[in-house]
Structure 1
């Protein structure tokens, strides 16, 4: 099995040198073990570019950051959906932005799963909030987009307490995003654990979505399914919807504060 050289990124070193490092080192933040099926490492995951010019550089940063992983690369390709609806495409992740309204969330990420394997995913960032003075900053845009893309790779949060010290990773909740704009070493280590084994088939071949899954509207919270978990602030952060015949949709929600 070929593993590319891991170019380590040192981010937030002053934070990682504190007690935050101890918290990160022993943590496991795989999202239920869900992963993209593939027959070799490193594999390449396509990110469909359905974002406006205001988000292009941040999508580029997130793609480059996650491609630092030893087991995967991400590549940005032409978008395959309407940004407002952001319907997924089999074998890839569609990334979208639009004014989704004052619904409380900054970003959401969804993965469609069958038999433990991710078959498609989507990321949505809400310009209703990102066009405001509070959230229209490079730090907030980097944090939220990086985190949502991380979810589509199979990662959970490292921490869900907004009031803890920043862990130096975008997979952390924080009131101040400055130190949490990029993945950290533990994220890359977790990806190596998730993708340590190979599969006999692949789910990273793109084709048009069809059937019942095409009728799911990720914009509508009523379609997210049942609540599985709340974050430390009491808001529901993870949902599951059973789509039948072994297919499920999991949705992570990043709420505005």
Structure 2
């Protein structure tokens, strides 16, 4: 699903969110079609403050969110090939060891990055350290039970994966419990949702691609039903030792009490979770 984003330098932009659809109304605007997580990011980003774009890539999100009232620092382990705006502040840095003081940022966002980091809990702790009290952390992570995971693995195995730049080992996939462990004692979860539920089309494309390369259809079934060797389960580091199981259960209930169990079931079928968390 795609949305439209209006970038306007002469008048105020107004947004409306109706049944998950982002509507923009403005005059003298530049209209750009954007993806679902980007529209959610726009809606959740504060109007002012110091932002941190973690794993910024080519600074696409920095370009979208940048304004006179927002100062954004973009961080990645590789320098962008081309920075389109001179006012972009870019720093080479690992997400695991950020070169910033405690309580520095009003808003931090990190889209589809955390799953590539082996010690994801340490990364979340580092983000927590640099975020101001009351600040918001927006991030997306891949779901553990989504059909997209199987389809992606099949595409990579058969050489039909169309995104070679993202063909990097995922150390983690996430379900509800994994998110609880990842954020426990650090963040209060404010919003949980998912994006990309239409996996049927991608599955059909995979089958067509397999016919193009003259591979047997039986390979598909063998790959689906044969357990994948070396499949790693997320390893979550927990710094809080000595906690009783009752205490952990109470904390989980406190953090996720306003999310209906059916919501987790539905969002678990999506490509990624979209999560907005608050530093208390």
Q: Which has the higher contact order (CA 8 A, sep 6+)?
A: 1
TM-score by length of 2: 0.29
Structure number with higher helix proportion: 2
TM-score by length of 1: 0.31
